[in-house]
Amino acid sequence: MLISVAAAVGGTVSFSLLFGVPTKYYPYCGLIGGAGWAVYSILIQSSTAPGAALFATIVVILLSRLFAVRERCPVTIFLISGLFPLVPGAGVYWTAYYIVTNELDKASQTGYMALKVAVAIVLGIVFVFELPQGIFRVFSKKEEKQGNPRSR
């Protein structure tokens, strides 16, 4: 599992580079993607794929919102790259493959599972974005009293 989490961290940072995230946020993106994949990897052993994806997405979005408030930047910087390891790309690929090879029973099974995982990701995003912003302000960086015009 450690190797897959490290691969998720590396993949998330690589996607952050591709997505145009500023360099100083790469460690946060890697941490968020790795944490989401670790939660998914732990839960998939005792749960369904959509359930594991839902709880992993909730972790990713919570961390994304925390770091966005802390760093005073848009949450999408962390959100999009952090969700990258959880997206059911293999399920979509196998669905298309089974359709092309005329194995429609397998196509419907893998397509339905990919759809359920995608819906679980969306629901996780909605659940956490419904939390008030004030909850996350506790984690913001403290402003210095001297020399900062916003603190006056």
Residue-wise pLDDT for 55-79, tens only, equals: 999 999 999 999 999 999 999 999 9
Are 34 and 12 in contact by the 8 Å Cβ rule? The answer is: yes
pLDDT, residue 147, reads 52
User: For the segment 42-56, what is each residue's pLDDT rounded down to a tens digit?
Assistant: 999 999 999 999 999
User: DSSP per residue over 82-135, as a string?
Assistant: HHGGGS-HHHHHHHHHHHHTT-HHHHHHHHHHHHHHHHHHHHHHHHHHTS-GGG
| Residues 85 and 9: beta-carbon distance below 8 Å | no
pLDDT tens per residue across span 117-137: 999 999 999 999 888 888 877
Q: What is the pTM of this model?
A: 0.85
- Cα–Cα distance between 92 and 112 in angstroms, integer? 10
